[in-house]
Amino acid sequence: MSRTRTWPRMVALTIGALAFLFPFYYMVIGSLQPKPDTSLAGAIPTHGVTLHNYEQINERVNLVRSLVNSGIFTGGVILFTLVFGVLAGYALARLHFRGRWSLFAIMLLVQVVPFQLLIIPLYVMIVRNYGLADSYMGMILPFAINSTAVFIFRQFFLALPEDLFAAARIDGASELRILWSIALPLVRPALLTATLITFIGPWNEFLWPFLVTKNAALQPLAVSLANYISNIAGRATNPYGAILAGAVVLATPAVVLFVAFQRHFTSSELGSGVKG
Amino acid sequence: MPTATVTLDHSGPSTPPPQHRRRRLAAVFGRQPLGIALAAPYAVFLAAVFAYPLGLAVWISFHRYFFAAPGAQVARPFVGLDNYKAVLSDPAVRQSFLNVVEFLVINVPLTVVLSLLLAYALNGAIRARTFLRVAYYVPYVTASVAVVAVWLFLFNSGGMVNQLLGPLAPNPSWLVNSALAMPVIALFVTWKQLGFFILLYLAALQNVPKELYEAASVDGAGKFRSLMNVTVPGVRPATTLVVIVATITGANLFTEPYLLTSGGGPDGASASPVLVMYQKGIEQGNPDVASAIGVILVIGVLVISLINRQLLERD
């Protein structure tokens, strides 16, 4: 490929990427403006910057409390996924047991059932029957084990050479010991990729925690910010500034995580999903 | 679910010789019964959070169902197809289904074309690949609630988009215009999800044999011809996946109409079926009608997925 032919492509790709990033830039700029400025010039902060918008939203939405709630919700889901997902992925990949293929088929089927469509029966079960409204457990339960993560674990365990397992068995290692001391250390990259993928779900989820939590002290940030947008933003001096300040706080952890660990969120890590 | 029904009380009558017993165990549980124990939590989870609710949704949709205090005994008579009749004759529900069709007609083709083109271009890019890849998936990893806030700011009547357009700005503005609200939402979701689909296509592109491109260029095919005749057929399984996932995402639409057009406005022009389910089922307390909407939507998604497989995987 000659040099002259690659650079128009680079220019197009770069312009596209900047268009994708612009709303994020605008989010940060808008959150620092003392007054909303929607003109083109408003995209460049000329009137000075202020943290007033952050104070404004923090008066209405306890940002720290909401972030902690988001963290507990997301952390709980990641913990359940890592513990039970690894066990299930290992069993599905390396152990011959009855029901293995039916479980695998059901796992694939689950990915086509749109989750939001189950909200009515889940609401009936979790909120009405089990009384788990306004609790972390009620929030976590429907997301507890991420099936995509189980699938990734399975693909990674499947890729390990059989000889390794045969040798360990001859040495008399138990199956659990093989999983813990031999297989698990070899699939460490899968743990990180699965954690990243699992993180996106609960951290960004709105509908389910919105249904389950009526108590503001338990609401994750996505829910409290959405409530702020639809109910009380009008009372702030710069409502857009305050909303954007909340948006920056909600977006930052996810963006930082994915930029820092971008190596573990690439097509080759996810590729097994397409090939499998 | 077969996996969940296997129980451990199958020990057999007297104690046979160990080797014999092991073979018997293997016949019932498989060669490594430990697998059942390891997979059990996940199997129970799937049964409790997917299979049972799915059955419950169907059951509720055929009964007169309302919320009652926990433990209270209330009659929930079988009503046949009444809830479905109520749903299908309700103009608000019909409108929401038409809206989601409009959404899919805009979103799915745009998603397939843009993500394939961008993945194709990224695959050949030599410099700044990491930066570009990350730039395209940042919207995907960010909460809808956060990015909706920026779009509200950009697309409101005095927002930057209208400032840029000047006299060309639509009136009424984007999000309060019944003809434009749904297209803006479709565009928003395309932008937000594109990065994920680019990753899927990037993975699929690695599987297209290089020799095919060489053969095409020997035959005198240009860039465009080789894209259409080599790349597009080469990534067909990924296209099936992209179309199915994009359709499911569309069927799940809730946050965007709830926040961006403040509850599916103007006048229901951007209401999605899930939003109507929420309003009818939880706000108005009619879970039976809402379940019927859900069941119709699940059937719709499955039918679209099957048709799509038939169309795209035909040789």
pLDDT in tens, A260-272: 988 888 766 555 4
B1 has pLDDT over 80: no
Whether chain A has a CB inside 8 Å of the CB on B277: the answer is yes
B223 and B99, same structural domain? yes
Model confidence over B230-289: pLDDT tens digits?
Answer: 888 888 888 988 998 899 999 999 999 999 888 887 888 999 999 999 999 999 999 999
Instruction: With CB atoms and an 8 Å threshold, state whether A211 touches B282.
Output: yes
* A34 within some domain: no
Report ipTM (2 d.p.). Answer: 0.88
* B181 within some domain: yes
Model confidence over B244-253: pLDDT tens digits?
Answer: 889 999 999 9
* B78 within some domain: no
Show the 3-state SS of A39-106.
Answer: CHHHHCCCCCCCCHHHHHHHHHCCHHHHHHHHHHHHHHHHHHHHHHHHHHHHHHHHCCCCCHHHHHHH
* A42 within some domain: no
Specify the pTM: 0.88
* B67 within some domain: no
Model confidence over A232-260: pLDDT tens digits?
Answer: 655 666 788 889 999 999 999 999 999 99
B98 and B176, same structural domain? yes
pLDDT for the residue numbered A248? 95
Number of structural domains in chain B: 2
Whether chain B has a CB inside 8 Å of the CB on A16: the answer is yes
Whether chain B has a CB inside 8 Å of the CB on A117: the answer is yes
pLDDT for the residue numbered B165? 86
- Tell me which residue has tokens 């960010």: B142
* A19 within some domain: no
A239 CA: distance to closest CA in chain B (Å): 10
pLDDT for the residue numbered B263? 83
- Tell me which residue has tokens 């698990």: A184
* A238 within some domain: yes
- Tell me which residue has tokens 């991420």: A146
* B75 within some domain: no
B40 and B156, same structural domain? no
* Of A32-46, A127-141, B127-141, B169-183, minimum mean pLDDT range: A32-46
List the domain range (segments joined by +) for residue B47.
2-61
Closest CB from A36, A107, A247 relative to B146: A247
Q: What is the mean pLDDT of chain A?
A: 87
**C-alpha–C-alpha distance, residues A24 and A252, integer Å:** 10
Averaged pLDDT for residues A20-41: 86
Residues from chain B that touch A122, judged by Cβ atoms under 8 A, are 49, 53
* B77 within some domain: no
List the domain range (segments joined by +) for residue A180.
51-275
Averaged pLDDT for residues B36-43: 93
State the distance between the two ends of chain B, measured CA to CA, in whole angstroms: 35
Ranked by mean pLDDT, which of B38-47, B221-230, B296-305 comes out on top? B38-47
Instruction: With CB atoms and an 8 Å threshold, state whether B154 touches A23.
Output: yes
B42 and B155, same structural domain? no
Instruction: With CB atoms and an 8 Å threshold, state whether B153 touches A38.
Output: yes
B112 and B56, same structural domain? no
Model confidence over A145-165: pLDDT tens digits?
Answer: 999 899 999 999 998 898 988
Whether chain B has a CB inside 8 Å of the CB on A42: the answer is yes
* B66 within some domain: no
A91 confidence band (pLDDT: 50, 70, 90): very high
Instruction: With CB atoms and an 8 Å threshold, state whether A251 touches B143.
Output: yes
Instruction: With CB atoms and an 8 Å threshold, state whether A229 touches B145.
Output: yes
Closest CB from A84, A92, A115 relative to B41: A84
Residues from chain B that touch A14, judged by Cβ atoms under 8 A, are 128, 132
Q: Work out how many CB contacts closer than 8 A connect A with B.
A: 327
Number of structural domains in chain A: 1
B10 confidence band (pLDDT: 50, 70, 90): very low
Of residues B1 and B164, more confidently modeled: B164
Of residues B185 and B222, more confidently modeled: B185
B112 confidence band (pLDDT: 50, 70, 90): very high
A127 has pLDDT over 50: yes
Share of chain A above pLDDT 90, in %: 50
B15 has pLDDT over 60: no
- Residues with Cβ within 8 Å of B115's Cβ and at least 6 positions away in sequence, in order, are B194, B197, B198, B200, B201, B242
Cα four-point dihedral sign B65, B66, B67, B68: negative
* A226 within some domain: yes
**C-alpha–C-alpha distance, residues A145 and A165, integer Å:** 26
B31 and B116, same structural domain? no
- What CATH number does residue A269 fall under? 1.10.3720.10
Q: What is the mean pLDDT of chain B?
A: 85
Instruction: With CB atoms and an 8 Å threshold, state whether B32 touches A97.
Output: yes
* A192 within some domain: yes
Q: Is A108 exposed, middle or buried (0-12, 13-18, 19+ CB in 10 A)?
A: exposed
Instruction: With CB atoms and an 8 Å threshold, state whether A211 touches B146.
Output: no
Closest CB from A24, A98, A102 relative to B29: A98
Residues from chain B that touch A119, judged by Cβ atoms under 8 A, are 274, 277-278, 281, 294
- Tell me which residue has tokens 């929420």: B278
B250 and B175, same structural domain? yes
B24 and B164, same structural domain? no
* Of A61-75, A234-248, B46-60, minimum mean pLDDT range: A234-248
User: Can you list the alpha helix ranges (DSSP code H) found in B156-286?
Assistant: 160-165, 181-205, 210-218, 223-226, 232-234, 236-251, 255-259, 273-278
Model confidence over B134-166: pLDDT tens digits?
Answer: 899 899 999 999 999 899 888 888 888 888 888
pLDDT for the residue numbered B17? 58
* A103 within some domain: yes
B125 has pLDDT over 90: no
- What CATH number does residue B170 fall under? 1.10.3720.10
B9 has pLDDT over 80: no
A10 has pLDDT over 70: yes
pLDDT for the residue numbered A43? 76
- Residue A178: strand, helix, or coil: helix
Whether chain B has a CB inside 8 Å of the CB on A112: the answer is yes
- Of B252, B302, B245, B300, nearest in space to B278 by CA: B252
Whether chain B has a CB inside 8 Å of the CB on A110: the answer is yes
pLDDT for the residue numbered A271? 52
B291 and B173, same structural domain? yes
The DSSP 8-state label assigned to residue A187 in this structure reads T
Whether chain B has a CB inside 8 Å of the CB on A180: the answer is no
**C-alpha–C-alpha distance, residues B57 and A119, integer Å:** 9
Give the total residue count for chain B: 315
* B71 within some domain: no
Of residues A39 and A23, more confidently modeled: A23
Would you call the peptide bond into B266 cis, given omega within 30 degrees of 0 as the criterion? yes
Model confidence over B193-233: pLDDT tens digits?
Answer: 999 999 899 988 888 888 888 888 888 877 788 888 888 88
Model confidence over A190-228: pLDDT tens digits?
Answer: 899 999 999 999 999 999 999 999 999 999 999 999 999
Whether chain B has a CB inside 8 Å of the CB on A212: the answer is no
Q: Is A11 exposed, middle or buried (0-12, 13-18, 19+ CB in 10 A)?
A: exposed
* B74 within some domain: no
* A29 within some domain: no
pLDDT for the residue numbered A40? 73
Whether chain A has a CB inside 8 Å of the CB on B58: the answer is no
